[in-house]
């Protein structure tokens, strides 16, 4: 569907492996902050537990990305060693208790609008499998992917209610912040694409699939969801 699997596996082939999509946490949250984040300037000097591409994007605004394992996030926030941390979403975040030391809970995690999980298989071993075994593994991965999306759709709503009851202060990133991050992310992607042919090929494929998809989404899904949200507010 859309060619994403093929273009990714063309890249993974260089590392003698193939990938099966087997999970998705859906859109993640923007993280927990010890203070309010109202403007792009508020990221300047912010020690933020975040990595990868989003960390590189936020450095454009003066943020200082930190790599910290899950068990160390709470004490780091409590002591002020870091100022903010992103993890996953309400269901997973609740277990860490971060709302007790960093109550400002922001959304969305624009860097993980649909965080995909992959199972990697040695390419030689994969190619040696009978077709029926490959099919079984592919279907198992599809099932795991669908199951995980359904799981988070079910468990995030009650978890968010518990977080809010516990004192979490929920806010959306301002339009100014979202637009600045969009611009900075695309600048970073363009910079990398100039020197990394593989990245350019994957990114171009994603954008070519994404843009028409969102044009369709606004026709039915977005219109319906927006209407229903307005009529189901608690």
Residues 146-199: tens digit of each pLDDT: 999 999 999 999 999 999 999 999 999 999 999 999 999 999 999 999 999 999
Q: Where are the domains of the chain?
A: 4-195
Q: For 43-61, what is each residue's pLDDT tens digit?
A: 999 999 998 899 999 999 9
pLDDT number for residue 23: 95
What are residue 40's DSSP bridge partners?
none
Q: How far apart are CA 96 and CA 70, in angstroms?
A: 8
- Residue (of 26, 70, 25, 66) closest to 48 by Cα position: 66
Q: Which of 227, 206, 169 is nearest to 35 (CA)?
A: 169
Whether 234 has a pLDDT exceeding 70, the answer reads no
pTM, entire model: 0.93
Residue for token digits 């507010």? 233
Look up the CATH number of domain 4-195.
Answer: 3.40.190.170
Residues forming beta bridges with residue 118, ordered by sequence position = 21
> What percent of the chain clears pLDDT 70, i.e. is strictly above it?
99
Average pLDDT, the chain: 95
pLDDT tens by residue, 120-134: 999 999 999 999 999
**How far, rounded to the nearest angstrom, does the alpha carbon of residue 92 sit from its chain's CA centroid?**
13
Average pLDDT over residues 23-48: 97
Question: What is the C-alpha separation between 5 and 26, in angstroms, rounded?
Answer: 18
């Amino acid at each position: 569907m859309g060619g994403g699997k093929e273009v990714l596996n063309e890249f993974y082939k260089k590392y003698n492996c193939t990938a099966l999509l087997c999970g998705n946490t859906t859109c993640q949250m923007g993280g927990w902050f010890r203070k309010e984040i109202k403007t792009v300037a508020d990221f300047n000097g912010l020690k933020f537990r975040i990595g990868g591409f989003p960390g590189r994007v936020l450095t454009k605004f003066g943020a200082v990305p930190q790599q910290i394992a899950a068990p160390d996030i709470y004490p780091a926030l409590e002591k002020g060693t870091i100022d903010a941390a992103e993890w996953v979403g309400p269901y997973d975040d609740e277990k860490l208790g971060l709302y007790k030391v960093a109550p400002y809970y922001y959304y969305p995690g624009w860097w993980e609008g649909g965080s995909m999980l992959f199972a990697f298989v040695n390419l030689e071993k994969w190619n040696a499998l009978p077709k029926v075994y490959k099919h079984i593994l592919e279907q198992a991965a599809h099932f795991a992917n669908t199951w995980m999306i359904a799981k988070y759709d079910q468990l995030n709503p009650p978890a968010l209610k518990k977080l809010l009851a516990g004192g979490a202060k929920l806010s959306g990133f301002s339009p100014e912040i979202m637009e600045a991050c969009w611009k900075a992310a695309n600048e970073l992607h363009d910079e990398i694409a100039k020197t990394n042919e593989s990245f350019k090929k994957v990114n171009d494929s994603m954008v070519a699939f994404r843009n028409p998809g969102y044009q369709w989404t606004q026709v039915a899904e977005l219109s319906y969801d927006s209407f229903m949200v307005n009529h189901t507010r608690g």
